[in-house]
Structure 1
Amino acid sequence: MSSETKSSPNDLQLFITLSRAHQWVTAHVQKDIRRSGLNPTEFGVLELLYHKGEQPLQQIGEKILMTSGNITYVIDKLADKGLAQRKASSTDRRVIFAEITERGRQLLNDIFPPHAEAISKAVSGLTEEEREQAIKLLKKLGIAAQTSFT
């Protein structure tokens, strides 16, 4: 701990409260995802491809915080289900893209609106104003933690 950082009795309480809130919100979201026949990792990759278009395999992991080995496995599972496919780069033979298939796009068209509703339900304990305030505070907390990480 640097000499500029002072410990507060609330530090541990904030950490515990934040962790528990995250755990319960995540539980709501994961329960909803499982209804679609996907696991949370498959859903995360499919959602990325749905919203951002084709992605190089090596960049998918960075965007959804997964290792490249796991991405290969997840893309294989999504391909087996007909929801995503690999596509070679036309400009660099070393680069392989993943893209959502029409079947995957249709699945997300069907399940994303209820998924967004499940997220809304999970965070409904706060008013809209409180949610805006929480977003600002949590961004501030995350940036500070990232900056101080060594």
Structure 2
Amino acid sequence: MLNLFVAAAEVRRRVEQVCEKHDLQFSHHNVLRILRGVHPEGHPRCEIIERMLDPSPDVTRLIDKLVDRGLVRRTTSDEDRRMTIHTITADGLDLLERMGPEIREVQRWFDERVADRDLQHLSRICEGIYTGFQDDG
């Protein structure tokens, strides 16, 4: 388990360095990616929390910062006026596009350290850990 923690921390540190260059935190980048995945639709705060890699205790404040920077837009749901929907803006999409090459470089760095067959095995192991995988034999 310790090796898993150390390896994950190293990968995350590299992604965080890319985020810092663009004045973002890791969690900001995660929210932007989540919202890009459903663009042009959006998500209410509760959906964002469910999809986050590392849910923040104060997601509202985290999203407020993205709204203040013009990277996320907050609107009231047409179906339920009590619900707020968050969508990524053109500026948010542009920022992720600019960050893309640097994020892909971290992915290449990772890929260079793990053989393709081991990547598939590692992925299966990780999925088993977080989904309650039971080995069939």
TM over 0.5: yes
* Counterpart pick for 1:75 among 63, 79, 85: 63
TM-score, length of structure 1 as denominator length: 0.79
1:88-99 equivalence runs, <5 A: 88-99=76-87
* Counterpart pick for 2:16 among 5, 25, 30: 30
Partner SS, residue 91 of structure 2: helix
Structure 1 runs of 4+ with >2 Å offset: 141-145
Aligned-residue Cα RMSD (Å) equals 1.9
* Counterpart pick for 1:66 among 55, 65, 82: 55
Q: What does the per-residue CA deviation read over 1:85-138, in whole Å, with 9 as the maximum and x for residues that have no partner?
A: 101101111111001111111111211232122123134211111111111122
Partner SS, residue 93 of structure 1: coil
| Contact 2:72/2:88, CA 8 A, preserved across alignment | yes
Q: What does the per-residue CA deviation read over 1:10-67, in whole Å, with 9 as the maximum and x for residues that have no partner?
A: xxxxx11111111111111111221121111111111111122211112111110425
Where do 5+ consecutive residues of structure 1 fail to align? 1-14
Cα distance in 2 for partners of 1:114, 1:35 equals 10
Percent identical across equivalent pairs? 24
1:48 corresponds to: 34
| Contact 1:55/1:99, CA 8 A, preserved across alignment | yes
Corresponding residue pairs, total: 131
| Contact 1:46/1:104, CA 8 A, preserved across alignment | yes
Partner SS, residue 98 of structure 1: strand
Q: Which has the larger radius of gyration?
A: 1
- From the superposition, tell whether residues 105 and 120 of structure 1 become closer, same or farther in structure 2 (CA, over 3 Å): same
* Counterpart pick for 1:102 among 90, 94, 97: 90
Where do 5+ consecutive residues of structure 2 fail to align? none
Partner SS, residue 66 of structure 1: coil
Cα distance in 1 for partners of 2:38, 2:109 equals 25
TM-score, length of structure 2 as denominator length: 0.85
Cα distance in 2 for partners of 1:30, 1:81 equals 19
Partner SS, residue 124 of structure 1: helix
